Amino acid sequence: MVGNTFGRIFRITTSGESYGGGFRKHLKIPKELFGGLLTIVDGVPPGIKLTPDMIQRELDKRKPGQSKLDSPRKETDRVYIFSGVMEHDLTTGAPVGLVIPNVDIQDIHIKQYEEYKDIIRPGHAEYGFFKKYGQYADWTGAGRASGRETASRVAGGAVAKAILNKMGIDVIGYVIESHGIRAGFVSYEMARKNYRKNELNCPDLKKADEMIKDILAVKEEGDTAGGVIEVIVKGVPAGLGEPVFDKISARLGYAIMGIGAVKGMEIGSGFEMARMKGSESNDPAYIDKKSGRVRFRTNHAGGILGGISTGEEIRIRVAVKPTPTISVPQETVDMLKEKNVTLKPITRRDPSICPRIYPVCEAMVRCVILDLIYMAKGYEAVAGIDKKWTNL
C-alpha cells in the first residue's frame, strides 16, 4: 500500500487501521501497544509550542460516541507525543511523532465484521480491496478505508495549526447543509461566534435544530444522511500556489478529495458560476486606502485566481455522502461464494458523517496552506521580486 504521505515540505505520513490491535490482545505488551494510529510530521520548525492537549482539542472534535449523531463506538482518541518535542513542550525541528492507541476493539464487534467479511458492503471499499489485496485485505472495520483513519490526519493538522496560529491564519469548518436542509450565508464572524454551539456544528442555529431533528428521524429508519461542509481560511497571504499543476485549488482538491466519504468540492461560488455571466462572476479589484493593497469588491473566486491566492478569504464547500453502513436490506455479492446475496449490517455507524468530518477538512486545509507557505517563502528568497509588487 502506497500513498500514505501528504505534502512536500510540511508532510504528514500516517499508518494504522480501524481495529488495529484487535488480534494482538493476547500478547504480553501494554494495551497502548496493541494497535492504533500513527502520524509522523516532517517540516516542523524548532521552537513551536506543542502539547498533547493542543492536539487533543482537535481530536476531540471528531472522536465518536459524543452524541446521538455519532457512532456509539467508544474511542478516547488519546494522543501521545513520542518524538520531536523536548524541554518546555517546544519542538526541536526533528520529525514530530504521534500515537493514538485503539481502545474499543472488543471481540464482539470484530466477530460482527467477520460474519460478512467476504460480502461487498454497498457504498464501502470492499470490492476495490478484494481486487487490490485479495483474501489478505483488512476486513475488520474497513481497515485503512475506515473513517477512523482520519484521526491521524487531524493529529497532523493540529501540528500545522500550532504553526499557522503564529502567522495569524485561521481555518474554520462547519456544516452548512444536511440532507437537503441548507443554512443561509455564513460569514467568517458568524462561523467563529457560533462555532460548535450545537452537536452538528452548524452556525445557523435555527437551521441546525431542523437538521438535527431530520438526522435523528433518518436514524430511526435505519438509514443515514449526507451533507455539505464549508471551510473558510482567513488571513491567508496572497501569492500562494504555483500555476498549472500545483495551483492552490488543485492542492486543496487533492487534500479534500483524499478524505473518505467526500464526493465533491467547489471553490467560491463554485458550480453557481456556470449559471452566471462574466460580468456577474468577475470580482472587481480596487486599491484599499487603509492597507495600500489590492482588494476585491466581491469574492466569487473564493480567494483564488489563476491557481494563486488573492489574499481574500478562501472559501470551499465539500460534498459528503451518507454513511454507507445502513440497516436497510441491500442487494450485493458474496465474493467467496460468488453469488448474489442480501445484506443487512448490524455494526455501529454514524447516522451522518458531517458532525465528525469537518475537523478532518480543517486539518487537511491547514496542511495545504502551510505547505504552500513554505514553498512560497523558499521561492521568494531566491527570486528577488521587487518589493513594489509583493507589497501591493
pLDDT digits (tens, 9 = 90+) for 337-378: 999 999 987 677 889 999 999 999 999 999 999 999 999 998
Question: What is the pLDDT at residue 274?
Answer: 97
Q: Cα separation of 145 and 19, whole Å?
A: 11
All three cell numbers of 56, joined, read 487533543
Other C-beta atoms closer than 10 Å to the C-beta of 184 total 10
- Which SS3 state, helix, strand or coil, does residue 131 take? helix
Asked if residue 240 lies in contact with residue 306, where contact means CB atoms within 8 angstroms, the answer is: no
Residue 205 confidence class, pLDDT cut points 50, 70, 90: very high
Q: pLDDT band at residue 388, thresholds of 50, 70 and 90?
A: confident
**54-89, pLDDT tens digit by residue?**
999 999 999 887 888 877 777 889 999 999 999 999
| Euclidean distance between CA atoms 250 and 319, whole angstroms | 17
3-state DSSP assignment of residue 117: coil
Domains of the chain listed by start with CATH number? 5-268+303-390 (3.60.150.10)
Helix (H) or strand (E) holding 175: strand 170-178
User: pLDDT category, 201, cuts 50, 70, 90?
Assistant: very high
Q: What are phi and psi of 122, to 5 degrees?
A: -50, 135
Q: Which helix (H) or strand (E) holds 382?
A: helix 354-383
**What are 322's three cell numbers?**
451518507
